[in-house]
Structures are given as C-alpha cells and as structure tokens.
Structure 1
Amino acid sequence: MRNYTKQYINGAWVESESGKTIDVVNPATEEVFGCIAKGNQADVDKAVQAAKEVYVSFRHTPVEERQAMLGRIIEAYKARKQDLIDVMTLELGTPVTKSEKVHYEMGLKHFQAAYDALETFEFEERRGDNLIVKEAIGVAGLVTPWNFPTNQTSLKLAAAFAAGAPVVLKPSEMTPFAAIILAEIFDEAGVPKGVFNLVNGDGEGVGTPLSQHPDVRMMSFTGSGGTGSKIMAEASKDFKKVSLELGGKSPFILLDDADLDEAVQAAVAKVVNNTGQVCTAGTRTLVPEHLKDAFLEKAATEMAKVKVGDPQLSETEVGPIVSEKQYNQVQTYIQKGIDEGAALVYGGLGKPEGLTTGYFAKPTIFADVDNQMTIAQEEIFGPVMSVITYKNLDEAIQIANDTKYGLAGYVYGKDHEKLKKLARSIEAGTVIINKAPRTPDLPFGGYKQSGIGREWGDYGIEEFLEVKAIAGFYQ
C-alpha cells in the first residue's frame, strides 16, 4: 500500500488538517493500492500563506537562478524515471510502455522547454525613455486532471517556476502519486521553501477554497468544462486571472488523395491513445463519401489489432478506463450512439473478451454518424470513433467547426493547398498536418468552449506574468 497522508507545504511534509483520507484504486485490478490526504480549507490556507510569504523574493530572483533551478529539476526528474513509470501504470492504468514513452517523456519535455525558453525570453523591453516589465503575477493555484499525471502538472509548474510565481498544486485525487513524486523531485532539486506547495484532496475540499482564496492571484485549470465554469465563477469574485484548458471534440479530416492504409492507422491511433482519455483525441473522423466503405473495412481491421489488457505487460497498447464512474460514462455514450441510430461497426458495450476484472472498454467504431448526434457533440473520453462522411471540402470544414469545442484538429492527405486551407479554416488552437510532430515550444490551448489562454513553452510562461509600464525610467 502506498499511503501518503501528508501535504507538502513550505518545503516540508506536514500532517493534513482534516485527518481524513481518500483511497486510490488501480483501474486494472479494481483494488485499492494506496491512500492520500483529503485536504481542506485549513490546508489550503497554510499552503497559500507559505507561497505568499516567498512571492516577492521569488519574483525578483535573477532569471539565471530560475533557469538553473529548472536544470536541477530536469536532472532529478530523470533520476526518478522508473518510479514515475511504475506509479503512472498503477494509478492511471496506462500500459507500461506508454508510461515511459509518452507520460514520462512529456513531463520531462515541458521542464526542458521552459528551461530553453528562458534563454531568449524578454522580461524587459525599452521604448525610448520608458520601460516595460513583465513580472510574476503572484500566488498561482493549479488544478490538474487525472489523464496525464506528469504532462499536465509539469507544463504548469515549469511555466510558473520560469516566470517566478510560487504555486499551490491540487492534482487529481484519482492519480495523485506522480505529483507526490514531483514534490520529492523539487525537494531534491532545492526549490526554495514555499515556492511549491502540494495539497491533495477533492474538488470541494481543496479546489473550491483555492479558487476562492483572496491571496491567490491566478487559477490555472485543466479538466472538464463544468468544473472550469465553477472555477471561473469563483475566481471572478475577486477578479483573479484564469487560464483554462477544457474539453475537445476534435475532427480528423481525411482527404480523398490520402494513403488509406496510413490514414487509417493514424485515425485509429488518435482514438485509442491513452484509452481515448485525451482532450485532443480525434474522435470525429471525417471521410469522403466515396471512401466510406473502404475506410470502415480497414479501420475495423486496424482496431482489431489493438491489444487491450494488463498495463503491466509490454505488449499491451490500451489499458483500462481510469475509474468505474468513467467506465460507466463511456458505456452510456456507446448506448446513446446505438439508440440515436449510428451503425455499430466494431466494439460496442461491455468489456473485451477475456477481461472480467478492471475498467476495460472495447475500442469502438460507429458509422453513419450525424454530426448532431450526442456521440459527435459531447466528449466521451473513451476509445470511441465516430465516422462522418462529407461531400466536399467546404462541407468538411462546416462539420469540423460545428461544435462548441475548438481544441485540436487533424488533416491527412497529399494535396498541400487543400491541407493548408483546412488548417487555416479549422477553428482550433492546434491543427496537425499528417504526421507532423508537435513540439513543446508550440502554444497549446483552445478556441470557444475549449478554454482560455495558452500553455507550453514561452506562451505558458506569459500566462503567469503581469505587464508593468514604467514611464521615464531612463530619464
């Protein structure tokens, strides 16, 4: 059992004020494998106070010192590689190979990207006799989701540290142990006391009081639109800055000149990656009408190759859904797809054959999906593909943008002019053409109800800064 019932506040592990705990369940076995503190208002107050006391001094640390600190974090992070891999496989159920090649690596890349950004980031700009200064906003509250325990925490933490803003982090109570290891990494790396504070707990006990706290100047949240709306409402009461990365219903648009085999592989990967628990998952697959049957045949064959099972096995590609609640939600959406008249091509309700224990869902393909169906409009957060056909490029663009979300989009084909037109026309914060890699120095965020603000690299640092104009500074 992994029992971590203390909070990390002001550079030390201290007892939680609540005296209560939350069990953490392994989604592959449905067994409790650890517990964490169930924090409360008093814990939040202590953490915010610790951050507030060091805010001014940390804000004024030389950039070189903050960069050196990030460098030490990178080395300490590398030293805990196996621990991070092990714990993410246990708490999230992600296959061990994905824990290493995706989750561990993504966290590392964000610390490296912030380190690199400080090489050229301009915190001051002279305009005549005047000076423009960018300085840390103050104490930042960070609330992170369960689906990427290192990525979503690291990108916020790295940016805040680079900017000079102390933080209070509340990770998801379903995947808290990666954040606990990060706290140990920061301690090892010599992050000053009070700069990083970790308060475990649930949304009501920790997230809400953090959003309400008068000494918190900014809230950075990644998660559902419903929770984001509540955080924004609380933050608005004293005009905190808010950065939100919310849901998505991203289109994957296939051109008629695409290599069909390659396109099918890419489309399936965008659906099953991280068991579909990805805000940027390309779950609306837009296919030219005349390619529908050929695409579906190949997609079903490709989906059948996906190995679902024990995340501890190296050959496993897809693990379980994170919790019973999330598993039931995925099942509900699959049933809605059936009830609303979509054609079930592959997968469906229940667990894959041979898997009786664990929250495993069947990778699923629906055809004949109308873009107004529930499965095409709402974020399922499971490995479910909705295939929608289109007649021409303009219709594909209309369908792609006919959603309240705008986080990501994918275009696949050979005609560069068409690809460029699609990329410029899709209303989303990120558009990826074919197999182009997405580097961590590119801004990340959404249009419409997918969020407010941008993260990653130098854009992420900007979120934690205020701009000050000093007239006559050089007179």
Structure 2
Amino acid sequence: MTFERDRLYVGGEWVPSSSPSSIEVENPTTEEVLGHVPAGTASDVDGAVAAARAAFDGWAGTSMAARGEVLDRLHAALAARAGDIARTVGLELGTPRKVAERVQAGLPLTVLRGYADLAARPVPEETVGNSLVVHEPVGVVGAITPWNYPLHQVVAKVAAALAAGCTVVLKPSELTPLVAYLLFDAADEAGVPAGVLNLVTGTGPVVGAAIAGHPGVDMVSFTGSTATGRAITHAAADRIARVALELGGKSANVILDDADVTRAVKVGVGNAFLNSGQTCTAWTRMLVARSRYDEAVSLAAKTAGSYSVGDPFDDGTRLGPLVSAAQKARVLGFVERASARLVAGGLDAPLPSAGHFVAPTVFADVDPASELAQEEIFGPVLSIIPFDSDDDAVAIANNSRYGLAGGVWGSPDRALAVARRLRTGAVDVNGGAFNPFAPFGGYKQSGIGRELGQYGLAEFQQTKAIQR
C-alpha cells in the first residue's frame, strides 16, 4: 500500500492533474510527511464536472435496483480493504486502532451496505389523486468532505447520491485525503461506470470553491465548519443550486438528578473525547443537576485522567493526536483563555514530545455564556455546568447557535420529555446507540438537510408530480 498518489480519478481513469504541484500529507503522531496527493485546480474540476455530466443521463436512466448491484460490488471491494482503511486513517489522522477499525472503517461499510440494500428495495411510486409522484435524481453532485471522519463522510454522501441516480465529483479534505483513494481503488475494481464517481484532490480555496461555484454542479453536499458552509451557500445561491450542509456542533449532555450518574459521566466523557474530541456531535457541554454536581465533576476528572495519550497503534492508547499543528494551537488557545476551574488536563499535563497532542481536559463551573460553552473547540476539552431544574437544563442546552446532537440521562419518561424539548437534530436518551440508518443533521447553524438512510437518499432527489 503506497501513500504517494499522483493522479486524480476522472471519467473512469486515473489522470494527472493540470498542475504539477502536490500537497503533503502529514502523520500527526510523528510530524513526518506520510505521502503526497495532487494539488488539483479549477481546470481539473471543469474536467471532472464534464465527465459527471456526460455520465448522468445514462446513470440516472439505470434502474435503482441496477444501481444497487453496483453499490453491492463496491461494498465487497471496499470491505476487502477494511484493514488498509483503518491503518490509513490511523496514520493520516491519528485515530486509535480500535476506534479506527470499528468506526473509521466499520461505519462507512455499514452505511454503504445500507444504501445497496435500500436501492434493491425502492419505495413504490405514490399516487395522490390524479397525480403520480415520482422521485428523480438531482443531477451532478459536488461533495466536499472533512478530515475528522474521512471515509464515513465521503460514503454517507457518495452512496446516497449514487443510489439516487446522481453522479458525483468529490473533494476530500487535503489533511486526510489518502483513505479516499482506497474508495476509488475499490470503485475502479467494482466497475462503477465511467464518470459516475470522480475524485479531485486539492485545497478548499481552490478545488472546493471551484466545485461550490461551478455552473455544471446541480447540488453541493458539504460537511465541515459553519463558516465554510456559509461561503458555500453564498456560492451556490448565485445559480439557485441545492445545498446540503452538515456543520458545527456544541452538544449538551444533560444529567438529571435521578440519572445513573456514574454511567452518564463515563459515557459522556467518552463521547466528548472520541476521535480526540474531533467530532461534530461530541457532547462537549456536560450539564449536571446541582445536587449531583460535585459527584459528577469528581468522576469526570478521574475518568479523563485515566485516558492514555500516545501512539494510535498502541492498544493501550485511548487518545491520539489532533490532526495538525494548527488545530492543536487552536485548541490550546481555548484552554489558555479559559476562566473556569480546571479539574483535569490543561496546558501543563505531560504529553509525548513529538506529535500534535492535547491532554484530555475538563473544566468545571463553566459560565454557559462563555467562550468555552459557546464555541466549537474540536479537541478533547469538556465543560461542566450545573443546573437547578429541568427547565433550567433545557434553557442552557438550547442556549447555542448550534443544534446537532445531545444526550439526556434520567428516569425514562422524564429524560424523554427533556429530549423532546432540545432544539437539536439528534438526542440519545440513557445512552441510546447511534443508528446509521436514522436521519442525521442539525438545527440552526448546525446545517441544512439530513444524511443517512432513506432521509439521506431523499436529499439527492427531486420530486415530480405527473397528472393523469
């Protein structure tokens, strides 16, 4: 397996970029260069969009069941690379091995399998009075994906778009682009028709901007920061193109006074620190009933202190590095500026001498209006906030411009009642497991639209009424 990639994938072929420049891909654990990928250009995007446009009519005209057969072959080819996927993400992102195998490799395979199965069982066409209601593909999709779950976020878009009958131009993050090549190796092997799926690597300001503003792109599906999502929306608005956005989060984990506090805190800390805190759905605000507050703070500090930091390929490692020096500096800036009570981690905690590591850090007595409680930090930093009543908890939880995820712990009926009041796209009650086939997306500045399952498929479809 090589980490030196010098080609783009356009029109069913591996082709050189129009530019000789390349992008270094760093190993964030060692700070060494892992490999290179092409620094694509707007001209490369033009070629990829042309290939996707040329392939669209044929792919859209194929039955959904036939598209499902292609996805089935793609799943088999990608599943054969599961070990390489986990290893690659461990190297270019620093995700600990066990999580890389279960989440970074396992989750996208589950999602892809789901879309292959969904395509094999298309929803029957609906009749409303004298109208036949049909669902047709949007067209050419530009998919722009982030670095924190570099294959899952690609598959969540690509598999749904392909099942719907769309063709795709993908730009993966320049920080973690290598695992996307494994998907395209699998697509080539599986015989995905030429032009249906295209890859252009490069930077956001060049390739991402060219995709977002391209007149030949009918829809842009983006996952990343709210600021970039805003810029993409403006670019797409000029031509009234559809956008689907999965953006930032500042999710609250609400622990009521009748909760199993030990379980709620341990699961909550694990959720906040998953992938070194580089998770948009991370429960980075822990809201605790005042009568259980001291107990929760003590347990959260102890739990965070037990997390081993280091080499992601060491089985004892619980927390790997952040993705880059810039991300580390950004996270440490939040820690340095914090005015709350530090109870674990912080700037002086011992860490490996090399690598972009930040210690698992917990602050207590956090002001709900402070930077710590309002800004998406995207690192292993947890804020703990007390509340006095269920109404108080809901008010604090909803005091955010984001609304992506959250958790509630307590007696089942009471916890469900609180969950219903949270202005967020997903809520786990008493540790309910993530469902990769349920709708995923946010309220407010956490995004527009939904991914996963039938809801994700619908994002890539137009609805038509035919009167008879």
**TM surpasses 0.5:** yes
Write the letter of the residue equivalent to 1:426: L
1:43 and 1:354 map into 2 onto residues whose CA distance is 42
- Aligned counterpart, 1:348: 346
Q: CA deviation at 1:112?
A: 1.4
- 2:440 counterpart of 1:458: no
Contact 1:123/1:134 (8 A) holds in 2? no
Correspondence 1:150-189 to 2 at 5 A: 150-189=151-190
1:412 and 1:158 map into 2 onto residues whose CA distance is 34
Correspondence 1:59-458 to 2 at 5 A: 59-122=60-123, 124-337=125-338, 341-349=339-347, 352-413=349-410, 415-458=411-454
Contact 1:123/1:135 (8 A) holds in 2? no
1:2 and 1:77 map into 2 onto residues whose CA distance is 17
With the length of structure 2 as denominator, give the TM-score of the two structures. 0.98
Map Cα deviations across residues 281-321 of structure 1 (whole Å, 9 max, x no partner).
00000001121211111111111111111011122111000
1:397 and 1:328 map into 2 onto residues whose CA distance is 32
Q: CA deviation at 1:155?
A: 0.5
1:375 and 1:332 map into 2 onto residues whose CA distance is 11
Q: CA deviation at 1:121?
A: 3.4
2:251 and 2:172 map into 1 onto residues whose CA distance is 25
Q: CA deviation at 1:123?
A: 6.0
Map Cα deviations across residues 234-283 of structure 1 (whole Å, 9 max, x no partner).
00000000000000000000011122221121111011110000000000
CA RMSD of superposed structures (Å) = 1.1
1:405 and 1:97 map into 2 onto residues whose CA distance is 30
2:122 and 2:66 map into 1 onto residues whose CA distance is 14
Q: CA deviation at 1:354?
A: 4.6
1:187 and 1:126 map into 2 onto residues whose CA distance is 39
- Aligned counterpart, 1:7: 8
1:158 and 1:223 map into 2 onto residues whose CA distance is 19
Determine helix, strand or coil for the equivalent of 1:13.
Answer: strand
2:305 and 2:44 map into 1 onto residues whose CA distance is 48
Q: CA deviation at 1:120?
A: 3.9
Write the letter of the residue equivalent to 2:401: K
Map Cα deviations across residues 338-366 of structure 1 (whole Å, 9 max, x no partner).
xxx2111111115x525110001010000
Contact 2:111/2:436 (8 A) holds in 1? yes
Contact 2:64/2:120 (8 A) holds in 1? no
Write the letter of the residue equivalent to 2:201: N
1:336 and 1:137 map into 2 onto residues whose CA distance is 46
Map Cα deviations across residues 323-380 of structure 1 (whole Å, 9 max, x no partner).
000000000011121xxx2111111115x52511000101000011011000100000
Write the letter of the residue equivalent to 1:347: G
Determine helix, strand or coil for the equivalent of 1:65.
Answer: helix
2:117 and 2:389 map into 1 onto residues whose CA distance is 43
2:346 and 2:272 map into 1 onto residues whose CA distance is 14
Determine helix, strand or coil for the equivalent of 2:26.
Answer: strand
Map Cα deviations across residues 371-422 of structure 1 (whole Å, 9 max, x no partner).
1000100000001110000000000000000000000010112x12211111
Greater Cα offset, 253-262 or 158-167 = 253-262
Question: Which consecutive unaligned segments of at least 5 residues does structure 1 have?
Answer: none
Contact 2:309/2:351 (8 A) holds in 1? no
The verdict on how the C-alpha distance between 1:105 and 1:123 changes in structure 2, with shifts beyond 3 A counting, is same
Write the letter of the residue equivalent to 1:262: R
With the length of structure 1 as denominator, give the TM-score of the two structures. 0.97
Contact 2:82/2:106 (8 A) holds in 1? no
1:455 and 1:354 map into 2 onto residues whose CA distance is 37
Write the letter of the residue equivalent to 1:348: G
Write the letter of the residue equivalent to 2:160: A
Question: Which consecutive unaligned segments of at least 5 residues does structure 2 have?
Answer: none
Contact 2:325/2:356 (8 A) holds in 1? yes
Contact 2:68/2:118 (8 A) holds in 1? no
Q: CA deviation at 1:126?
A: 2.5
Determine helix, strand or coil for the equivalent of 2:445.
Answer: helix
